[in-house]
Amino acid sequence: MTVDWARGGPDLLVTLDRDAGPLGIQIQDQLRAAIRDRRLGAGERLPSTRRLAELLGVSRGTVVDVYEQLLAEGYVESAVGSGTRVATLPSGAQARRAPGAGAARDRPAVADFEYGIPDLGSVPLTDWSWAMSEATRTLPTAELGDEDPAGSRHLREVVTAYHRRVRSGCAVADDAVVVSGFRQGLAFAFATLARHGIHDVALEDPGPREHDVIASRAGLSAVPVPVDDDGIDVDRLRESGARAVLLTPAHQCPTGVALGPSRRRDLVAWAEEVDGVILEDDYDAEFRYDRQPVGSLQGLSPDRVIALGSVSKTLAPAIRLGWVLAPPRFVAMIVEEKRLSSRGAPGLDQEALALLMETGRFDRHLRRVREIYRARRDVLAAETDAVFGPGRLRGLAAGCHALLRLPDGTSERAVVATAATLGVRVNGLTGYRFAAAETEPRPPALVLGFGNVTENQIRRGVRALAEAASGRLPSPSWATTRGGGS
């Protein structure tokens, strides 16, 4: 995308050697090279002749001659009121593509069931704009310097108070470290555990595969432990020899099950037995529909649990803020990992998030999107029941994704690939398995994220998945029900 610079844009870097020949020729050569190399993109506005002449210390007439020559050669174009802009060169005339060109993922034409994306159309940008403005207006001048290494004290007070009130936690501000999202917090926590003499960390199988990479970078070995209908198998965890475990107890990713009450007690008992640590990924616990809220494990065993949270699912991934709530013996080392790795999250953003939460705007947003997600979940359940048969959709009580079990013998990979040709993006359960654990087969299934799809896209997407799974067009008995598809 071309940047539409106002008033000719920032200064151009053109270097002149006044002992190396005509200055106009030097300017022409450098501008041609910049345009060919796409350092100046098609449609990008060049400085006015007066401004460039002042910048380079040459006569305006010299720059006028340069622009006229480039215009004659087709490198630039000029229009009254628009100034001089870089022209679109013919194919093959550019030396290389602009950085990042073509990197954006195209949005599927029918439905995008990508896991982990919230409703981006519902992000409370007006409230966020207010919070940023208020943070800018009220933040003391002294706090515009380097922040406390643990992060904004105000945000840590608010986050821990929220966690105590909403998730039955018991952390206080001194237990919290503000980070730039969940993955950064996890990397700091893993590194801290490694420095405390822990070598192996158990990960849920199935579960997010990037976690084993983060563990490896921190010097830990990842050990897969299976998940069943009550959550992680604690008996298998004991057999693994690991002294740390990362899990998603409120709404397991990707199966959607909640860690059962007896498993929660067994898990805490395991941690006491092995002097272990539980890392709790509290990623979408705010979204629940048919059950009472599930309390945080941190409140159950504060000396054994490191709780990690962020706003990537509740607000938007672009607001890169998260937190780590840790037992006191780990906090200083997590802060040190943060200090050595980065300068921390932007202070104004931290203050804005604190204000958003403290004034009730954050909670108001959650209540609104919870109802949006509930309606989408209900449409997804009704449509999959009608098309695939009842009882195949799991993990519906909370969160923004569900697990659709496919008919036995169905090839997940074939369904995912065929669905893509029909304009639907979806992930198979196999993509969440560890290679070492695939000797324990699971029924074929699809992970359906419904946070960022409309109800009509859900209907059309489910029908396309049925077509992909069956190899034939949907039958009229269900293709015309539930409100059509466009």
pLDDT digits (tens, 9 = 90+) for 95-153: 444 444 343 456 678 999 998 899 999 999 999 999 999 999 998 887 788 778 999 99
Neighbours of 390 (CB within 10 A): 9
Of the pLDDT bands very low, low, confident and very high (cuts 50, 70, 90), residue 435 is low
Say how far apart CA 475 and CA 480 lie, in whole Å: 9
Say how far apart CA 331 and CA 320 lie, in whole Å: 21
Neighbours of 394 (CB within 10 A): 16
Look up residue 163 and give its amino acid. H
Burial pattern 77-94, b for ≥16 Cβ within 10 A else e, equals eeeeeebbbbbeeeeeee
Of the pLDDT bands very low, low, confident and very high (cuts 50, 70, 90), residue 476 is very low
Of the pLDDT bands very low, low, confident and very high (cuts 50, 70, 90), residue 183 is very high
Per-residue pLDDT, 96: 44
In the structure encoding, which two tokens stand for residue 443, read together?
Answer: 């029924």
**Whether domain 6-86 has CATH 1.20.120.530:** no
pLDDT at 394 over 80: yes
Per-residue pLDDT, 78: 86
From the number of C-beta atoms within 10 Å of its C-beta (0-12, 13-18, 19+), residue 376 rates as buried
Largest CA distance in the chain: 83
Per-residue pLDDT, 162: 92
Contact 131, 352 (CB under 8 A): yes
Reported CATH class of domain 125-360: alpha beta
Unique residue bearing structure tokens 């953003």: 349
Say how far apart CA 449 and CA 283 lie, in whole Å: 14
Q: Any bridge partners for residue 447, and if so which?
A: 403, 427
Percent of the chain with pLDDT over 90: 63
Give the HSE-up count for residue 148: Cα atoms under 13 Å, Cβ half-sphere.
15
Q: For 56-80, what is the mean pLDDT?
A: 89
Per-residue pLDDT, 216: 93
Contact 246, 203 (CB under 8 A): yes
Q: For 143-165, what is the mean pLDDT?
A: 90
CATH code that applies to domain 363-479: 3.90.1150.10
Per-residue pLDDT, 5: 75
Average pLDDT, the chain: 87
DSSP code of 437? G
From the number of C-beta atoms within 10 Å of its C-beta (0-12, 13-18, 19+), residue 352 rates as buried
Of the pLDDT bands very low, low, confident and very high (cuts 50, 70, 90), residue 474 is very low
Per-residue pLDDT, 9: 72
DSSP code of 45? B
Q: For 207-229, what is the mean pLDDT?
A: 93
Q: For 7-27, what is the mean pLDDT?
A: 83
Unique residue bearing structure tokens 């981006």: 120
Give the HSE-up count for residue 456: Cα atoms under 13 Å, Cβ half-sphere.
6
Could you tell me what percentage of the chain is helix, strand and coil, using 3-state DSSP and rounding each to the nearest 5?
A: 45, 15, 40
**Among 293, 449, 428, CA closest to 377:** 449
3-class DSSP state for residue 15?
A: coil
Per-residue pLDDT, 473: 40
pLDDT at 275 over 80: yes
CATH 1.10.10.10 spans which residues of the chain? 6-86
Say how far apart CA 252 and CA 263 lie, in whole Å: 13
**Among 345, 338, 120, CA closest to 354:** 345
Of the pLDDT bands very low, low, confident and very high (cuts 50, 70, 90), residue 88 is confident
Q: Give CA 302 to chain center in angstroms.
A: 27
CATH 3.90.1150.10 spans which residues of the chain? 363-479
Of the pLDDT bands very low, low, confident and very high (cuts 50, 70, 90), residue 316 is very high
Look up residue 199 and give its amino acid. H
Per-residue pLDDT, 108: 73
Per-residue pLDDT, 481: 38
CATH 3.40.640.10 spans which residues of the chain? 125-360
